[in-house]
Amino acid sequence: MAERGETDLVGGVVAWWARHAPELPVRTIEFTKRVARMHALTDRVTVAALSGFGLSRAEYDVLGTLLTAGDAHLKPSELSSRLLLTTGGLSNVLRSLERRGLTSQTSDASDGRSRRVALTTEGTDVAERVVREVVAAQHDLLGKAGDADVEAAVAALAAVLDPLDRRSSPEV
């Protein structure tokens, strides 16, 4: 476990577990706690940026996924899989976005029982603006860390996630 100083909240938790339950894999605890802490910090600035658009985190994730899908109209099941959202939760998000005129659903040409979801013109505009604002807020937050450290963290997380993604879902 790396020593980080008094402001390292995760380090204190990890040190406690190392002392009180040395049989536990402390590296696993440290890794998952640090990933959770990073998520909490980035989520805080993300949600703050989203408030100006009146969007929830889940709505933002759907808009961003549809935006990066390009011309592809995705099935709700594809969105659910990519975003790790339940189909019930996704249905609520899709209804909200459609009511706001940001997405539309059409019948799947190859399977009339299935639907396809796409951004509307307004949805594309909103998605592009909100993604830019969220990324700017996240960039400001990460600017407090060194570029080399961020690059190393990205590479390390990619290396850890790759086998996990392949094991958990061949679709993702």
- How far does Cα 167 stand from its chain's mean position? 19
With cut-offs at 50, 70 and 90, classify the pLDDT of residue 82. confident
**β-strand partners of 108:** 111
Q: What count of other Cβ atoms lies within 10 Å of the Cβ of residue 76?
A: 19
Please state, in angstroms and rounded to a whole number, the distance separating the CA atoms of residues 41 and 59: 19
Which of these, 38, 30, 11, lies nearest to 142 by C-alpha position?
38
**59, 91 in Cβ contact below 8 A?**
no
pLDDT value of position 5: 52
pLDDT value of position 60: 96
Domain boundaries, the chain: 55-166
pTM of the model as a whole: 0.81
pLDDT of residue 170 exceeding 60, the answer is: no
With cut-offs at 50, 70 and 90, classify the pLDDT of residue 172. very low
Domain 55-166 CATH (choose: 3.20.20.150, 2.60.40.790, 1.10.10.10, 1.10.1740.10): 1.10.10.10
Please state, in angstroms and rounded to a whole number, the distance separating the CA atoms of residues 169 and 27: 25
Greater model confidence, 168 or 145: 145
Give residue-wise pLDDT tens across range 42-76.
Answer: 999 999 999 999 999 999 999 999 999 987 788 88
